[in-house]
Chains A and B, each alone.
Chain A
Amino acid sequence: MAGGTAEPAEPPESAGMTGTEEVSRLRGTLFEAVTLGATVFGLLMVGVLLLYVVNDAVRPLSADPGWHLVFFLTLVVPSLSVAAYCYTREGPAGEVAYATFGLPVVGLLVGAGIVVVFLEVVSVADWFGLALALVAAAGAIELHRRLRPYAALERLAVLIVAPLVAIFGVPALSVDRTLATPLTGTELFTLSFSTPKLLPGVPELFTSLPVLPLDWLLLVVSLTLPVAFAFGRIVSRRREDDRGRLETVAAAGAVALVGALVAPTVGIDAAHWVVLATTTLLPLGVYLEGVVRERAGLAGLWFPVVVVAGTLVGALVVETVGFAGPDPWLDWGFLTSATSRSPADAGIYPALVGSILMLVVIVVSAFPVGVGAAIYLEEYAPNSGPLGTFVTLVEINIGNLAGVPSVVYGLLGLAIFVRTFDLGNGTVIVGGFTVGLLILPIVIISAQEAIRAVPDSLRQASYGMGATQWQTIRNVVLPRALPGTLTGTILALGRAIGETAPLLMIGAAASVRTPPNGFFSRFSAMPRQIYSWSSEIQPEFRYGVLAAGVVTLLVVLLMMNGTAILIRNKYQRES
């Protein structure tokens, strides 16, 4: 190799140039082979592991060979051939096939998440009251903007106070304090008074109504119609008229209403139907309208049809012939039941809900703080002088914090949130804050990078127009940096949802039977649940249930990363 001898593989044509020597590419070729080997090795290891886990979780070999054969013939072969046709023959058809299949799947998952929230965390009436309160607050802010367009400071106050008053009302005030001189302890006077509750919040007002409308009706108004209004914008823009929006809202409302009346007869809760129709049928309908209007890639529509028909036909054949299907650990029962002594009944539902609630706390706590810190460091912090040195020091240490082991963060969370602030041992909010701290440096760094990537020429243009620094940041820097920030944050959340060590430290429950019903109740999260299954005595826990839990966790993770990629692609195309 060191000799660098001329490579025999060099094509003879190049030797035709008289008087040129051949250049050795041996080392380059070797290097390329080594890098390829490293890539393949890594992928292979992960692939093998995933294969094992999925095999344990789904147990495909427990089914009759006939069962596999039937579904192979009715489902796999037809759908693969349709997919292959779409991708090779018609460019847009492939995308249509992909979207019409993927949209309902993603929609159903999102819808299921929302249904879970309504089942476990917040009642529909509370949600509606909250939505009403936010609308009222937005109205108040807008009114203030119209009436006093130049009172910027006042508007900031309104921006903060209006939502608080709308949601919580003006609470009762009670003061009971004795003021004493610090040294002698002589009592000076006692201030003691209390006021009655002055103004109830909008949610309270709403839920205290004597007769509340039906849940599903509330959901149609507070969920379906606003979402349809937002999606209608796409339709309107595509058709270049204003009627598209109205028609979308009308169609969505009609589908939700009719479905809600029909659904209970087939055993589906009307409110659940409204949620699922909003997250699944509405985006699908809007997408289909575009496909049909542009008449591009219509062949792709066959793909979901073939998949659904193949599944139905396959199920019918299997049923009549009597082939036994597989007996997977990961099934509907696993996703919807709590863990149990017997492996066959064990499920992950409480931990799944716990993870999602914890994620909510993480997003609400880490995102604003992280983005705020990034804005300060990039836009406001001085670059020079002693303060500049301090800022540089801070930036370096944020980088170091990103590498601190997660168990240390667990200890920090235990000391601060559990012991000092007494937020409870192993509650959702403590878990969320602790893991939020853990991903904070990653959020800050990714937001900083996104802000740094905003071209300076845009800032200059904004300043040149006489914009203040705040206006420049708000109107130019933040919108441009948002997709990058979101991508980084979602990837960080992916890390957060898999963290186990901090949860062990703050005392998250090894396994809980009921999902948490609020942010201050004890919880278990998916990785914590998986960890406790790994030490069960029965082997079925360690091989079957654990694998099913891992697959569930990985699917949630993949969905989050997929969302991050979608956001990135969408904005890359736009700018």
Chain B
Amino acid sequence: MARNVPDDGKPSRNERIDAAEASGETGGLIETSVTTEDSDEHSTPGRTIIESRGVDVFYDDVQALRGVDMEIPENRVTAMIGPSGCGKSTFLRTINRMNDLVDSARVEGELRFGGTNVYDEGVDPVALRRRIGMVFQSPNPFPKSIYDNAAYGLKVQDKTDDIDDRVERALRDAALWDEVQDRLDESGLELSGGQQQRLCIARAIAVDPDVLLMDEPASALDPVATSKVEDLIADLAEEYTVVIVTHNMQQAARISDKTAVFLTGGELVEFGDTNEIFENPEHDRVEDYITGKFG
């Protein structure tokens, strides 16, 4: 069974979720007033930004996802949990078309991002990935300097105006600036595992994407580093829509507003508010899973 919620002075899960709900109901104004500095972004927290309708994914003849329907709300943390091989990572990679890189993968159904089906013929997967950032399971910084890592996305996307400021802001947002500001020239590989993962998050948010996909971002980290990354995710949700895949149910409970439970066979069994899922799941199998009877 996974470890207990650390007693580190953070509000307990229920309090946090209540708070999140409260801000969700009244927070339209509050949050937009916070984010008005990004004047070109008209984000409305809670509005559906990604909508999945009957998404099937096949690897050759093996079906990895079966008819997934889901609405992912803007500026919220949506968690996807489930046992290994249940298709939650596949779904994540379907959103930004990373599955295109796998020759045998085939996607059916509709996946709408801001109203457009991302699998329409006219959609350029590279352009799509520039709006949907991704953080991977194990930290994978480039063998370049810390600065070059954070600036990578800006350089490949030709966003090179005031690049130094953008890099600094990304590293600050990823809660890494204080630790690395004197050593930006050093290799990103010299950082600790947790720092590397925060560098990868900084790299992803430096280009200001609309959505941040995270594929078990804390699974390769120790508990201290994990809690730092979790705090970071909570902060990121103020500016970004975060979709996170996790193995760790406590983690999903701590940080997410919405939770999707995938069970074996690539089926989305239940999707709803996190506290609903954890306190009063509709399906027995989901209850068995989150109480640790299997998985």
- By a beta-carbon cutoff of 8 Å, the part of chain A in contact with chain B is 149-150, 382-384, 455, 457-468, 471, 475-476, 479-480, 574-575
Contact = CB atoms under 8 A, between A and B. Distances in A.
Nearest to A461: B140
In order of increasing CB-CB distance, the 8 nearest A-B pairs are A466-B130, A464-B134, A457-B140, A465-B153, A467-B156, A466-B129, A461-B140, A471-B156
A382 B103 contact: yes
Given A149-B158, A150-B158, A383-B103, A465 B136 contact: no
B39 to A, nearest CB: 23
Given A384-B104, A460-B98, A465 B140 contact: no
B291 to A, nearest CB: 34
B73 interface: no
Contacts of B130: 465-466
Nearest to A150: B158
Contacts of A464: 96, 98, 129, 133-134, 136, 204
B138 interface: yes
Given A460-B98, A475-B156, A575-B189, A465 B203 contact: yes
Given A384-B104, A457-B136, A468 B142 contact: no
Contacts of B290: none
Interface string B195-220: 00000100110010000000000000
B183 to A, nearest CB: 11
B126 interface: yes
Contact of A575 (B101, B138, B143): B143
B157 interface: yes
Given A464-B134, A465-B133, A466-B157, A458 B126 contact: no
B157 A462 contact: no
B142 A466 contact: no
A214 B130 CA distance: 55
B2 interface: no
Q: Give the secondary structure class of A's interface.
A: helix
A133 B160 CA distance: 29
Interface string B150-165: 0011011110100000
Interface of B: 96, 98, 101, 103-104, 126-127, 129-131, 133-134, 136, 138, 140-143, 152-153, 155-158, 160, 187, 189, 200, 203-204, 207
Nearest to A237: B185
A468 B100 CA distance: 13
Contact of B140 (A383, A458, A575): A458
16 contacts: A455-B140, A458-B140, A460-B101, A462-B156, A464-B204, A465-B156, A465-B207, A466-B130, A466-B131, A466-B153, A466-B156, A466-B207, A467-B126, A467-B152, A467-B153, A475-B152
Contacts, number: 76
A324 B291 CA distance: 94
B25 to A, nearest CB: 34
Contacts of A455: 140
B136 A460 contact: yes
A461 B200 contact: yes
B203 to A, nearest CB: 7
A459 B100 CA distance: 13
Contacts of A479: 143
A38 B142 CA distance: 43
A480 B136 CA distance: 20
A239 to B, nearest CB: 14
Contacts of A575: 143, 189
Given A383-B103, A467-B152, 12 more contacts: A382-B103, A457-B136, A457-B138, A458-B143, A461-B136, A464-B204, A465-B134, A465-B203, A466-B126, A467-B153, A467-B156, A475-B156
Contacts of A466: 126-127, 129-131, 153, 156-157, 207
Contacts of A476: 142
Contacts of A471: 156
B224 to A, nearest CB: 23
Contacts of B152: 462, 465, 467, 475
Nearest to B161: A149
B254 to A, nearest CB: 25
A387 to B, nearest CB: 12
Contacts of A460: 98, 101, 136, 140
Contacts of B200: 461
A200 B23 CA distance: 72
A458 B142 contact: yes
Contacts of A461: 136, 140-142, 200, 203
A574 B136 CA distance: 23
B128 to A, nearest CB: 8
Nearest to B209: A466
A458 B104 CA distance: 21
